[in-house]
Structure 1
Amino acid sequence: MCGILGFIGHQNVMPEMLSSLSQIQDTDFNSVAVAITTPSGIRILKHGDDLALLGDQIVESSLTGVSGIGHGRWDMEKHTESFATTAGINADVTLVQHGSIDNLCSLQFWLETEGITFSDTPSIEILPQLISLFLRRGYDPEQALNRAVERAYGTFSVAVMFRSDPSHLYAAQRGCPLVLGIGRQSSGLSSDERALGDQFNRILYLKDGDQVRISTDRLSIREKSGRKVRRHIQERIQSTRLHNQTNQVFYHREIHEQPEAISRTLNATQRQLQTLPLSLFDAERLTIIASGSSYHAALIAKSWFETYAALPVDALIASEFRYSPPLLKPNGVTIILSQSGETSDTLQSLRFAREQKQHVLAVVNTQNSSISHEADYSITTQAGPELCTVATKAFCCQLAALANLVIKASLQRQLLELSAATRLHQLLFTLPAMLEQVIADETHYQRIGQQLAAYSHLILTGYGCSHPLALEGALKFKEICHLHAEGIATGELKHGAISLLETNMPIMALASQDERTLKTLTDTLSVCAPEIKPILLADKVSLDAVKQSHVEKIELPDIPSLISPILHAAALQLIAYHTARAKSADMDLPLNLAKPVTEYE
């Protein structure tokens, strides 16, 4: 998993490259490297895991150059040769690769029949060796790159420097997005727009299959067929990158940013919904595709659409959907959920849905993302940048936008009268104030978090839309607490999970306000080990009905299930925060997680 970039300009680009790598370093890279063109050839500098030490190394070597490529990589093996893990280097070609190639074995076999030998890490040498082979056959750099990527199957992008053409950078996009930055004195490219500094006042998003050659003041784009094309260049909306100047944990801060973020999202969604054709809501069936936390939001939305709009929904995991048989009816409606708008599996699923003649609506948190560009319609949530690796406010903003969408669908399908829809809508807009109340006093969450920190396991459970909420809560405990947690539908506890409910297995019940609220609580209490104090999250009336004293109760506002999951999510986020804090876990850079990477969400 990595982020790649490249710069070319009239002056030394090395400071810009180091600054750009720092913009996406919340991935907790364990290898960073740069390659730069110098009068004596291409020089490569790398460091195992410390960008600051790499900068010191560059200063000490007095390395300067007007063009370069770089990468920051995170991988579980923690290779010491950082550049060699994802970049192939030989005499003719230097490249950095983002993503993965699926047919490495067949390419390696073919290259070996051509007399090419490989080192101990052939996977990272395939593309540069392939490009070099075509160079030796007489193709120019642009043609050689095109021939090479034509033979590679997978989801990847590359930035390439050629020894024979030091005045240009080359790049190709095959599934993994690339964005170009255009400035007055330099040009750049990156897999993550945040890596493009303020010197780039215009940006251009490549389309899948594009290949580009850039110099300081010119660019040439060819589509997959080799035909020259023009792509839309847009003025850039500069976003300020936030750095943690205090000891405050981003994860905690972003939980408390949620009321304002949701308020912005509700207002923006209200405007954006006016642009959607009403025919979208007349669909016989809806498909929602997502990954990670967004998939949990999709499951909650499924419950909402079916309950309030009588609209059947298939909520699917993107990595499964893209390899599934095409069972979508033409002219159906597919909703794509993604926080980054760049998640590879989700993006490929969008393209697959388009091939199946679906009308695609994207709900994303990044306006200029690949998913928002390729969808037919787009709703942009207003969570703002999430600097913590794990999702908090982006997840809740997705739910707020989807709730607004559900009310619109219910009206269009005549399942709600205007007066009832208006009441729900008004209640939805009180959500920021209710959320402020839920997160204002953390004393109770802190006490429970300190209790949970003593355990290695946790079960979260709920009925209806509380089940996917339990899945999301379990994900948070896994991500930031390094605690094994499982989200289980309450009715399924007696089918296997009950055998785990011993003294070392606490249980937390989530009860959204519906007809199964009390059933959730009573069913949970009935399976608890006597020594374990269950944790119950519900409204006051439901909690008062529980007479057992040996329970932990967290009281949440009494509101419909269309809204309550957002409040429950914030409460779960804070319990996980205090659990992680008691365990001294790193919440902003959890073990083995990387946010800007587009392979996984």
Structure 2
Amino acid sequence: MCGIVGYIGNQEAYPILIKGLHRLEYRGYDSAGLALITDGGKKLNVYKTKGKVSDLERFSQSKDISGTIGIAHTRWATHGEPNDANAHPHYSQTENLALIHNGIIENYSVIRAELESKGYVFRSSTDTEVIVYLIEYVQKTNRVDLCTAVQLALHQVVGAYALAVIEKGNSDTIIAARKSSPLVIGIGKNEFFLASDATPIVEYTDEVVYLNDEEIAVINRNEPLKVVNLNNVTVTPEIKKLAMNLSQLEKGGYPHFMLKEIYEQPKTIMDCIRGRINVEGNNVVLSGVIDNKGKFINASRIIIVACGTSWHAGLIGEHLIEEFCRIPVEVEYASEFRYRDPVITDTDIVIAISQSGETADTLAAVELAKSKGAFIYGICNAVGSSIARATDSGSYIHVGPEIGVASTKAFTGQVTVLSMLALTIAREKGTITKEKFESMVKHLQELPEKLKKVLEKTDDIKELSKIFTYAHNFIYLGRGYNYPAALEGALKLKEISYIHAEGYPAAEMKHGPIALIDNEMPVVAIATTDRIYEKTISNIQEIKARKGKVIAIVTEGDTLVCNIADYCIEVPETVEEYAPIVTSVPLQLLAYFIAVNKCRDVDQPRNLAKSVTVE
């Protein structure tokens, strides 16, 4: 959601900024722009336009794009519609400053009214323009340098921000600041890079500094990086090594990142469990649990907070933890949890799940739970992310960068980590037998090969998708562990194809949704072999009795369901606890091919953002 890029050094900034914006397109956006200081600091040029980065490139072709310092932005509209005026960067009133911003300023209307009373005239509908006007007002009123002006201005700002500002006449400095929105600085040889995540930086340097909340970076081309807080106290920046590599950010011959990431899942699941299962293959260890085993053994309750796909993974985690560990679990939408004054004690554990590690609602839920004394455990993909740094302990899912907006490999990675977490806690608590534990570890190791077998069905699923491309509605059904998989399958379809889809527990059909069933309603039923297999068959028969069209996900060799359903997709047999990992892959492929058939922008579906860094 929104993207920031900045550069200062000896190279021409424009090509680096444009390439960086392309790297950040996966985050979701509706306009793009950049600002460059040129002509020895005499000119500050801002170019911006509604649309894609390619539109910005065309718009800038005839413009002066010289300069070795610049900032750039992709905007996902919050305040004000997507148009040229609301795109970033924003000039200050005198056009001496240019600023880009991710986040939301909650008190912008109050600040705007105050500035308007002093004669300021605004050009856009955004909250961002208020910040750059305020910084200039503070700078002029107090006769201070740009860094001090930013510090003083941000004391008056309420909300979330990651911002960068440059100043005409000062071609040596970028000022950047962060609160509740990610910002990373890359340190090169006599040059610096700035971005909202590491993807635009990785091809230039592997040394980065992640800014913390209420920190300001003074990025000067002639000096080492300087970091201060809002009170002007100097902070020693911690330089970290990037684990990402450039090949992870390329499509590798696939038509879309989403398909590439679906196909990566056998490898990413292996990467996720590698080093956490012993050589003998009979033990699994999550160090984040072992190092804090007293907290887990004595936990009175576990609360899982997440959003979207991560929330679906959390529902599966609830099943796993309660079954293996006998600890009560609640799964909460982070956006609701943070506002309902929840009862939390110091014997509770809160597990925060987020692919990006920057999800604003989940991060706020973490801070709330910490203030109540709970132990916080994070499950993230992005190393060095805000949630990873805010939690007491945690586990990375190690699936590599996920560029497609619709999450695929991150979901299966999250469920895999939750499986290992549940097994580790259960062994430490003594709530699982040795035989059951070793059996579950063995089945865990078999998952990569089983996912390879699922991917062999791709051509069949591609053909099946043609039949249902122009359906207007879908219902997805599952029971037990597969109910969250049904929710996730429905989410994937609606995200990228824009077809309305809903997931339900199969037995709930009789309590309302069955009224929707007719011969034009496709129903995807997850009916793999498990302890309630016969019950699921009964639910499918209820749909067929009302002429519904059933696509069934079944275990290899199934005959009962396949004799009832209209279409069957077979998956390898696995224990029901891991069934969602296996069944989710054909659902991802079905959604993908339907979206492709409808000529949708699969990797960047409309209105969506990869990392939701605002409420």
TM-score, length-normalised on structure 2? 0.91
**1:2 correspondence with 2:7:** no
> By how many angstroms is 1:550 displaced?
5.2
The equivalent of 1:560 in structure 2 is: 575
Which of residues 306, 316, 328 in structure 2 aligns to 1:312? Answer: 328
Measured in 2, the distance between the counterparts of 1:130 and 1:528 equals 64
> By how many angstroms is 1:107 displaced?
2.2
- Trace 1:442-591 onto structure 2 (pairs within 5 A): 442-511=458-527, 513-528=529-544, 530-539=546-555, 543-546=558-561, 548-549=563-564, 551-591=566-606
- Tell me: CA distance 1:47–1:90, structure 2 relative to 1, closer, same or farther (3 Å): same
Measured in 1, the distance between the counterparts of 2:10 and 2:596 equals 48
The equivalent of 1:121 in structure 2 is: 125
**1:376 correspondence with 2:382:** no
Give the residue type in structure 2 aligned to 1:274. S
Measured in 2, the distance between the counterparts of 1:347 and 1:498 equals 38
The equivalent of 2:34 in structure 1 is: 34
Q: Secondary structure at the match of 1:534?
A: strand
Q: Contact 2:2/2:28 (CA < 8 Å) preserved in 1?
A: no
Measured in 2, the distance between the counterparts of 1:118 and 1:510 equals 55
Q: Secondary structure at the match of 1:71?
A: strand
- Tell me: CA distance 1:130–1:269, structure 2 relative to 1, closer, same or farther (3 Å): farther
Give the residue type in structure 2 aligned to 1:215. N
> By how many angstroms is 1:418 displaced?
1.5
Q: Contact 1:94/1:162 (CA < 8 Å) preserved in 2?
A: yes
1:324-375 per-position Cα deviation (integer Å, ceiling 9, x unaligned): 3141111421111111122222222222222222222111112222222222
Q: Contact 1:202/1:233 (CA < 8 Å) preserved in 2?
A: yes
Q: Secondary structure at the match of 1:507?
A: strand
- Tell me: CA distance 1:128–1:398, structure 2 relative to 1, closer, same or farther (3 Å): same
Q: Any unmatched runs of 5+ in structure 2? A: 278-283
The equivalent of 2:610 in structure 1 is: 595
Q: Secondary structure at the match of 1:69?
A: strand
Give the residue type in structure 1 aligned to 2:63. S
Give the residue type in structure 2 aligned to 1:239. N
> By how many angstroms is 1:62 displaced?
4.0
The equivalent of 1:49 in structure 2 is: 51
Measured in 1, the distance between the counterparts of 2:495 and 2:432 equals 39
- Tell me: CA distance 1:380–1:461, structure 2 relative to 1, closer, same or farther (3 Å): same
**1:209 correspondence with 2:209:** no
Q: Secondary structure at the match of 1:34?
A: strand
Q: Which moved more, 1:101-110 or 1:472-481?
A: 101-110
> By how many angstroms is 1:546 displaced?
4.2
- Quote the RMSD (CA, aligned, Å): 2.4
Q: Contact 2:554/2:571 (CA < 8 Å) preserved in 1?
A: yes
- Tell me: CA distance 1:547–1:557, structure 2 relative to 1, closer, same or farther (3 Å): closer
The equivalent of 1:194 in structure 2 is: 199
1:36-62 per-position Cα deviation (integer Å, ceiling 9, x unaligned): 112322111223334345445545434
The equivalent of 1:417 in structure 2 is: 433
1:416-471 per-position Cα deviation (integer Å, ceiling 9, x unaligned): 11222011111111111111112212344234322221311000112222221111
Q: Contact 1:73/1:82 (CA < 8 Å) preserved in 2?
A: no
Which of residues 143, 151, 155 in structure 2 aligns to 1:146? Answer: 151
Q: Which moved more, 1:588-597 or 1:546-555?
A: 546-555
The equivalent of 1:229 in structure 2 is: 235
Q: Contact 1:88/1:126 (CA < 8 Å) preserved in 2?
A: no
> By how many angstroms is 1:292 displaced?
1.3
Q: Contact 1:278/1:412 (CA < 8 Å) preserved in 2?
A: yes
The equivalent of 1:87 in structure 2 is: 90
Q: Contact 1:525/1:534 (CA < 8 Å) preserved in 2?
A: no
Q: Secondary structure at the match of 1:514?
A: coil
Measured in 2, the distance between the counterparts of 1:572 and 1:552 equals 13
- Tell me: CA distance 1:143–1:255, structure 2 relative to 1, closer, same or farther (3 Å): same
Measured in 1, the distance between the counterparts of 2:82 and 2:22 equals 20
Once superposed, which parts of structure 1, at least 4 consecutive aligned residues long, lie more than 6 Å away? none
Q: Which moved more, 1:587-596 or 1:76-85?
A: 76-85
> By how many angstroms is 1:473 displaced?
0.4
- Trace 1:43-192 onto structure 2 (pairs within 5 A): 43-52=45-54, 54-55=56-57, 58=60, 60-75=62-77, 79-81=82-84, 84=87, 87-91=90-94, 92-121=96-125, 123-140=127-144, 141-163=146-168, 165-192=170-197
- Tell me: CA distance 1:16–1:488, structure 2 relative to 1, closer, same or farther (3 Å): same
> By how many angstroms is 1:545 displaced?
3.5
Measured in 2, the distance between the counterparts of 1:48 and 1:581 equals 25
**Identity rate, percent:** 29
Q: Contact 1:502/1:529 (CA < 8 Å) preserved in 2?
A: no
- Tell me: CA distance 1:466–1:102, structure 2 relative to 1, closer, same or farther (3 Å): same
The equivalent of 1:25 in structure 2 is: 25
> By how many angstroms is 1:138 displaced?
1.2
**1:244 correspondence with 2:251:** yes
Q: Contact 1:32/1:83 (CA < 8 Å) preserved in 2?
A: no
Give the residue type in structure 1 aligned to 2:577. L
- Tell me: CA distance 1:599–1:341, structure 2 relative to 1, closer, same or farther (3 Å): same
Q: Secondary structure at the match of 1:226?
A: coil
1:458-503 per-position Cα deviation (integer Å, ceiling 9, x unaligned): 0011222222111100001101222110011223222221221123
